[in-house]
Structure 1
């Protein structure tokens, strides 16, 4: 058995804290913190995943109103022991070139795109943690016959839980967090609206 590098050993008995991620230069890209444990994206991403994330980032960016931006590969500092990295997020935070994370209060929407490696976390752990942090909208994009299917959830403020508001095939149309109409098949084909 090989010896783990020093940086993989938690700095304290309670595990890692959210602020520790900024000092882990040796950690692989897409390292998340879940309940004080480091979680790495260990398998290579598939082309389908990359295409969906890129196309959805551009599409939502084009639809976003002034003062709202779309970011990818950024973490959300949920609490002291949880700092998750969604595939993309929609935020009202002002641009800061040195930012390494967003606060949940600045995030309107989180989107996770299906990967076999993270499917369980996306459907259970992340769904619960984003809701507990008060993020208003959560989309999980899954793959069905090579086309995207969007499972859309909205935060029910009185209960603090997400409620499903629809499963979208073909076109995803929602009035919140801002008016959105997305041709889901075009995310794969690269076809742009006329």
Structure 2
């Protein structure tokens, strides 16, 4: 291949890459505009949270309101509620809701905190109203207590982005939730039962249940 053909190939690749980037930015902008509209028109009402329910952050506003929110789950984020609370969605009173989560950042405080911890939901979810899902798990009191004990015993363990599914030494957000339910209450919440577990796998599991109750807020 001569230098002219190589240059032409490189230019075509760069044009294609540029078109993909522009398309992504356009779709991202449209999604955020939709999200602002949704937040203005759907801010009334309250939601009731129970210990053991899951908070799930979808990347896309539009996909969060669709029948296929797991397609908007890359990267996505999730945690487990540890408080029984009713909040007014309009006020976004996330301070009242305690969440156990394994994450790299504390977004509100703008610092890295790569551990499994219990903190107010506002830290990593308060800014994402309109693309949050409340996943009702319908645990009984005994299961809630076991899940709470599991979280307390494992708090402080390090965050690891590529943590293995069965790893009990370090977690990412999805492996923590999977391990908590699997170890504490003997529920395998991985929809496909594969060697790895992603946030979308856990959301898919609950969406497939007959008594599925998933609320967008």
TM-score after normalising by structure 2:
0.26
TM-score after normalising by structure 1:
0.28
Bigger relative contact order, structure 1 or 2, given CA contacts below 8 A and separation 6+? 2
Q: Considering fraction of residues, name the structure with more helix.
A: 2
Q: Considering fraction of residues, name the structure with more strand.
A: 1
* Higher Cα Rg, which structure: 2
